[in-house]
C-alpha cells in the first residue's frame, strides 16, 4: 500500500511501449527535481514490450516511483486523469514517455505555477519542433482551428509538459481527449494560464503511437463539445468553497 501522505509534486507519465526511453527519462526527472518532495507515477497504457517488468524492477529500487498498468490501452487522457486521481502531490506535472519532453524545464514550470495563486495551469510551448513534417503540419492546423474557436491564447496544446493544481484539474469535466483542451478548460473555470517555452527533443527510440488523421478528427469533433462547454459552463464554485471551509 503506497504512502498516502501529501507531497509537493506528482509527475505523471502516460507511456505505451517506451521501454528504451523511460529509464533515462526517469533519471533526468530525479536530477531536475533534486531537493523537492515529489513522486513519479508511470501510467503503463497497455504496453507489450516488457515495460511492466522493467518498471517493477525500477520501482523495487526507487521509493519515489509508482507504476500503474492498464491491461489494454485507454489513451492519453484516461492515463493522465487516472494518474492525477492517484497522485499525492498538490501540483501535478505531466510529460510524455517518449523522451521528447525535457525534464530540465520542470523547475521553470513550477516557478510559473507557484508564483501566482491565480494560475491553475502552466502549459509548455514547444520551440524548434523535432517531429516529422506531417506531425508539425497536423499540429499547426489543429492548434490554429482550436485557437480560433476557443480563444485560449495557447499556440501549442499538444505539448506534454504541463503543470497544474491537482484539485483544480479534478474539478474539470472529464472526456476522452481532454488533455488537448486543458488551457480552455482551466480558463472556463476562472483560472489564469501561464505559458513556458520549452525545447522539444527528437525521439531517440521507437515510433509515435498516435496517427495524424485520427488525432485531427478526434480533436476537431471534440472541439465543438469544448466550445459548448466554454459557453455554458460557469466558474466552478468549488475552489471558493474550499477557501471558506478552511
Residue-wise pLDDT for 152-165, tens only, equals 777 777 889 999 99
Spell out the CATH class of 7-241: alpha beta
* Residue 148: pLDDT over 60: no
Residue 151 and residue 228 in contact, taking contact as beta carbons nearer than 8 Å: no
Beta-sheet strand order (sheet of 89-94): 65-70, 38-45, 7-15, 89-94, 162-165, 119-127, 192-199
Positive or negative: CA dihedral 17, 21, 26, 32: negative
Mean pLDDT of 160-181: 91
Question: Residue 5: is its pLDDT beyond 80?
Answer: no
Residues composing the chain = 246
Question: Which of 51-60, 129-138, 183-192, 221-230 ranks highest by mean pLDDT?
Answer: 51-60
Q: Which residue has the cell 502549459?
A: 123
Distance CA 175, CA 160 (A): 17
pTM above the 0.85 mark?
A: no
pLDDT in tens, 60-119: 999 999 999 999 999 899 999 999 999 999 999 999 999 999 999 999 999 999 999 999
Mean pLDDT of 194-214: 73
Amino acid at each position: 500500500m503506497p504512502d498516502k501522505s501529501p507531497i509537493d509534486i506528482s509527475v505523471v507519465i502516460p507511456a505505451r511501449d517506451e521501454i528504451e526511453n523511460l529509464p533515462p527519462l526517469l533519471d533526468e526527472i530525479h536530477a531536475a527535481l533534486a531537493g523537492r518532495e515529489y513522486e513519479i507515477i508511470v501510467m503503463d497504457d497497455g504496453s507489450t514490450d516488457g515495460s511492466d517488468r522493467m518498471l517493477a524492477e525500477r520501482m523495487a529500487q526507487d521509493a519515489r516511483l509508482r507504476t500503474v498498468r492498464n491491461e489494454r490501452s485507454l489513451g492519453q487522457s484516461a492515463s493522465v486523469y487516472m494518474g492525477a486521481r492517484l497522485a499525492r502531490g498538490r501540483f501535478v506535472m505531466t510529460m510524455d514517455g517518449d523522451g521528447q519532453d525535457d525534464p530540465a524545464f520542470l523547475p521553470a514550470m513550477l516557478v510559473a505555477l507557484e508564483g501566482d495563486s491565480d494560475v491553475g495551469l502552466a502549459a509548455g510551448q514547444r520551440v524548434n519542433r523535432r517531429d516529422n513534417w506531417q506531425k508539425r503540419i497536423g499540429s499547426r492546423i489543429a492548434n490554429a482551428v482550436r485557437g480560433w474557436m476557443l480563444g485560449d491564447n495557447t499556440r501549442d496544446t499538444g505539448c506534454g509538459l504541463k503543470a497544474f493544481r491537482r484539485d483544480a484539474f479534478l474539478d474539470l469535466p472529464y472526456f476522452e481527449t481532454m488533455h488537448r483542451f486543458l488551457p480552455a478548460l482551466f480558463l472556463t473555470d476562472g483560472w489564469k494560464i501561464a505559458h513556458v517555452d520549452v525545447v522539444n527533443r527528437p525521439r531517440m527510440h521507437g515510433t509515435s503511437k498516435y496517427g495524424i488523421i485520427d488525432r485531427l478528427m478526434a480533436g476537431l469533433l471534440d472541439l465543438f463539445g469544448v466550445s459548448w462547454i466554454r459557453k455554458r459552463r460557469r466558474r466552478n464554485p468549488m475552489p471558493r468553497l474550499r477557501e471558506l471551509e478552511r
